[in-house]
Structure 1
Amino acid sequence: MKKTFRLEGLDCANCAAKMENAIIELDGVKNATVNFMTTKMVIEAEDEKMAMIVEAAEKIIKKIEPQVVVKKA
């Protein structure tokens, strides 16, 4: 399953890379990209773990950039 999100308020390319690297390490994630230019995050993961992965990804994002709002694209 693949899901796309918009990261409103993302203002650091280095932080986007940190987010991507941390999200890729999550259990069940096949692939993840965080594009600083388009402020889009795409997560490809196992269907049954997707809800847990999205929740964990949001926590990672808030830890790195607290002002970012994660919205479904």
Structure 2
Amino acid sequence: MRKSFKLDEIDCANCANKLQDAIARLDGVEEVSVNFMTQKLTLTAADERFDDVLDRVVALAADIEPDCEIVR
């Protein structure tokens, strides 16, 4: 499954890159793209694991970029 989410308050392209690299290392993430210009995160994961993977992505994002929120 592939879904896109709005990123609220991502501050810079470097922050987006750091977030993308960390998310890409999570188990279950097949593909991820974080675009600073469009303020969008696109996540691909297996259908049956997508919600679990998304929960871990949201938690990781909160640790790395506390001001950034993934709008579901």
- C-alpha displacement of 1:50: 0.7
Distance 2:60 2:16 in 1: 11
Identity across aligned pairs (percent)?
40
**Over aligned residues, Cα RMSD in angstroms?**
1.0
> What is aligned with 2:19?
19
Structure 2 regions of 5+ residues with no counterpart?
A: none
Distance 2:70 2:28 in 1: 20
> What is aligned with 1:38?
38
Q: Tell me the TM-score normalized by structure 2.
A: 0.91
Distance 2:20 2:48 in 1: 21
Matches within 5 A, 1:1-73: 1-72=1-72
Q: Which amino acid aligns with 1:2?
A: R
Distance 2:39 2:20 in 1: 12
- C-alpha displacement of 1:40: 0.2
Q: Which amino acid aligns with 1:55?
A: D
Q: Which amino acid aligns with 1:11?
A: D
User: Which consecutive aligned stretches of 4+ in structure 1 deviate over 2 angstroms post-superposition?
Assistant: none
Structure 1 regions of 5+ residues with no counterpart?
A: none
- C-alpha displacement of 1:23: 1.0
Q: Tell me the TM-score normalized by structure 1.
A: 0.90
Aligned length: 72
